[in-house]
Amino acid sequence: MTTPFDEIPTAQGRTQFSLRAMEKVIHVAIASVPGTAAVDAKLAGLAGRAFPRVMAQMDPDAKVVAVDADIAVYWPSPVTDVASAVRSAISDTVRDFTGFRTTRVNVTVGGAVAGERTSALAVSTRTPLVAQIPAIVPAQELKEIKTSQGVAVRQIAVPAAPAVRGVATPQAVQVRTSGFGPSPQRYDELRDITTAPEQPLRHTRDPQPATVRSVTMPSEFRPRSVDVPRPLQPRPVSAPHPMALRKVDVPRPVEPHHVTAPRATALRTPQVAPSATSRNLRPIEIRPSADFTRRVDIPRPTPLRAITITPFAEGAHHE
pLDDT of residue 79: 93
pLDDT of residue 138: 81
pLDDT of residue 55: 94
How many percent of the chain have pLDDT more than 70?
Answer: 82
List of residues 6+ apart from 99 with CB closer than 8 A: 3, 5, 6, 63
Confirm whether 49 is domain-assigned. yes
Phi, psi of 103 (to 5 degrees): -90, -25
Confirm whether 242 is domain-assigned. no
Top-confidence residue, 231 or 147 = 231
Tally of domains within the chain: 1
pTM of the shown model:
0.41
Task: Report yes or no: 74 and 115 within 8 Å, Cβ to Cβ.
Answer: yes
Confirm whether 214 is domain-assigned. no
Residue type present at position 5: F
Confirm whether 50 is domain-assigned. yes
Question: How far apart, in whole angstroms, are the C-alpha atoms of residue 161 and residue 167?
Answer: 18
pLDDT of residue 193: 81
Question: How far apart, in whole angstroms, are the C-alpha atoms of residue 98 and residue 131?
Answer: 10
Confirm whether 10 is domain-assigned. no
Cis link prior to 251 (omega < 30° from 0)?
Answer: no
Q: Where in the chain does DSSP place strands (E)?
A: 36-37, 53-59, 64-75, 101-114
Question: How far apart, in whole angstroms, are the C-alpha atoms of residue 146 and residue 89?
Answer: 55
DSSP 39: B
List of residues 6+ apart from 79 with CB closer than 8 A: 35, 73, 109, 112
β-strands 64-75, 53-59: how paired?
antiparallel
Top-confidence residue, 244 or 135 = 244
103-107, 189-193, 211-215: which has the highest mean pLDDT?
A: 103-107
Top-confidence residue, 154 or 182 = 154
pLDDT of residue 1: 43
| Residue 36 DSSP SS3 | strand
H/E element, 218: none
DSSP 312: P
- Answer whether residue 115 shows pLDDT above 50: yes
pLDDT tens digits, residue range 57-66? 999 999 999 9
Confirm whether 256 is domain-assigned. no
What CATH code is carried by the domain that includes residue 48? 3.30.70
Question: How far apart, in whole angstroms, are the C-alpha atoms of residue 293 and residue 285?
Answer: 18
Question: How far apart, in whole angstroms, are the C-alpha atoms of residue 22 and residue 105?
Answer: 14
201-205 mean pLDDT: 82
99-108, 142-151, 253-262: which has the highest mean pLDDT?
A: 99-108
pLDDT tens digits, residue range 71-104? 999 988 999 999 999 999 999 999 999 999 999 9
pLDDT averaged over every residue in the chain: 80
pLDDT of residue 103: 94
33-61 mean pLDDT: 84
Confirm whether 268 is domain-assigned. no
150-159, 161-170, 220-229: which has the highest mean pLDDT?
A: 161-170
Range of the domain at 68: 35-121
Confirm whether 76 is domain-assigned. yes
Point out the least confidently predicted range of 125-139, 181-195, 239-253: 181-195
Question: How far apart, in whole angstroms, are the C-alpha atoms of residue 54 and residue 107?
Answer: 9
| Residue 209 DSSP SS3 | coil
Model confidence at 292, in pLDDT bands (50, 70, 90)?
low
pLDDT of residue 7: 47
Task: Report yes or no: 65 and 72 within 8 Å, Cβ to Cβ.
Answer: no
